[in-house]
Amino acid sequence: MRPSRGTGASVGRTSGVPWAQASWGVTEGCTPISEGCTNCYGLAMLRRFNARALEPTAPRCHPERLEEPTHWRKPRTVFVSPLGDLFHVAIDADYIARVWAVMARCSEPWRVRYLQTKANVYGPHKFMILTKRPDRMWSILSDQRFKDEVARLLGRDIPVWPLPNVMLGVTAETQEWAGDRISTLVTTPAAFRFVSCEPLLGPVNLRPFLVDLDWVIVGGERGPKARPMHPAWWTRIRDDCAAAGVPFYFKSHGEWVRNVYAEPGGAELLKVTLKKGREVILDADGRGTFPVNMERIGHKAADLLLDGDSLREMPTWEAR
């Protein structure tokens, strides 16, 4: 795949996600693969930044950005490819090996000399990679030739494998995708694993997988066409994580919150409809359980309702 000019928007110190201190746009661009992609933020950004390009959202690699983490002195948690999917079929495995080699170099602190006698200590950095294509991730990372290629690029043996500073994750926006993707994730060689239920589009039972997970993120959808998230969907995941001792991070309600004042109760609430207006009625499981009235108030107002830091737990990066 040919490198190309990038947006520049995904590079550097701020990541655009609250749980990382930097983003690393080694690839950009993607193609939708499931319901969670319908209102993809990354593709929307690329359409805006690359408005004059023929294929503004086409997957592409950015080798000129590969060395960026080696220039960051303070240790950072880095979100990899925030405007794309690193494991998209259009990204060569050889290029992914180059990404892994940089992450391997950043797994331990390193000294950078300046003047004649002085040196600064850089890193180490932690990297988080989220994909909706765990099958390809599995097939690449399970292949001994991939590890050999990373070692060759590194110029030495890899001290710890899987890399101890890399956390792999999949998106699980519905139960169907949760079962499919997480069962592949848990068999993929990884030091740490996480699941992102964002945007959460239906009830998801993570209980069977929690023993193999190190972190769970949940969030509602944002944007003009955002779909609502029933409170029972995310509170169930929160409670299951608490019971299993898995850190739980509630990112956002999205654009919609429950409006208890507009719930008269009664049979009409059992209907699940997405109206054109600001209000929608959802139930917890599609079977008429726990109907609630959701109102679109915008993500800024909805964020004010976040329940403090207690819902924003971070992974420990320690073996469980």
Residues near ligand SF4 (CB under 6 A): 30, 32-33, 36-37, 40, 42-43, 84-85, 132
Residue 65 vs 132, nearer CB to ligand SF4: 132
Q: List the strands of the sheet with 279-282, edge to edge.
A: 256-258, 292-296, 279-282, 273-274
CA 107 to chain centroid, in Å, comes to 20
Strand partners, 80: 24
Collect all residues with Cβ–Cβ distance below 8 Å to 129 and sequence separation of at least 6. 80, 81, 86, 166, 167, 168, 169
Minimum CB separation of residue 267 from ligand SF4 in Å reads 37
User: Residue 199 belongs to what H/E stretch?
Assistant: none
Minimum CB separation of residue 199 from ligand SF4 in Å reads 9
Minimum CB separation of residue 124 from ligand SF4 in Å reads 27
Do 110 and 123 meet the contact criterion of CB atoms below 8 Å apart? Answer: yes
User: Residue 176 belongs to what H/E stretch?
Assistant: helix 175-185
Minimum CB separation of residue 83 from ligand SF4 in Å reads 7
- State how far the Cα of 36 lies from the Cα of 147, in Å rounded to an integer: 31
Overall size of the chain counted in residues: 320
Residue 132 vs 253, nearer CB to ligand SF4: 132
Minimum CB separation of residue 30 from ligand SF4 in Å reads 3
Residue 40 vs 101, nearer CB to ligand SF4: 40
